[in-house]
Amino acid sequence: MIGRRLVLAATGAAVGALAAPGVVRAQAAWPTRPVRIVVPFGLGGSADVAARFLAEPLSQAFGQPFVVENRPGAGATIGTDAVAKSAPDGHTLLLMSNTHTANETLLPNRPYVLMRDLAPVAAINIAHHVLAVHPSLPASNLQELIALLRANPGKYDYASSGPGTPYHVAGEVFLAMAGVTATHVPFRGSNEARTAVIGGTVPIMFDAIPTMRPQIEGGLVRGLATTGPQRSPLMPELPAVAEALPGYEASIWLGFMAPAATPAALRQRINAEVNRILALPATAAAQARLGAQPMAMSMEAFDAYLRADITKQAEFIRMAKMTPT
Q: How far is CA 283 from CA 241, 244, 278, 288, 292, in A?
A: 28, 33, 6, 9, 10
Does some domain include residue 325?
Answer: no
How do residues 234-244 score in pLDDT, each as one tens digit?
999 999 999 99
CA 244 to the chain's CA centroid: 25
Q: Quick one: which of 270, 255, 256 has its CA closest to 24? A: 270
**Residue that wins the pLDDT comparison between 9 and 115:** 115
Measured CA to CA, the distance from residue 70 to residue 156 in angstroms comes to 31
Exposure letters 249-287 (e unless 16+ CB within 10 A, then b): ebbbbbbbbbbeebeeebbebbbebbbbbbebebbeebb
How much is the average pLDDT of 214-222? 97
**Which residues are registered as beta bridge partners of 99?**
none
Q: Is 298 helix (H, G, I), strand (E, B) or coil?
A: coil
Residue 258 shares a structural domain with residue 229: no
Same domain, 91 and 187: no
Domain containing 26: what range? 4-127+252-320
pLDDT tens for 82-141 read: 999 999 999 999 999 999 999 999 999 999 999 999 999 999 999 999 999 999 999 999
Instruction: Name the nearest CA neighbour of 173 among 229, 250, 104.
Output: 250
Is 259 inside any structural domain?
yes
Task: Residue 161: give its domain's CATH number.
Answer: 3.40.190.10
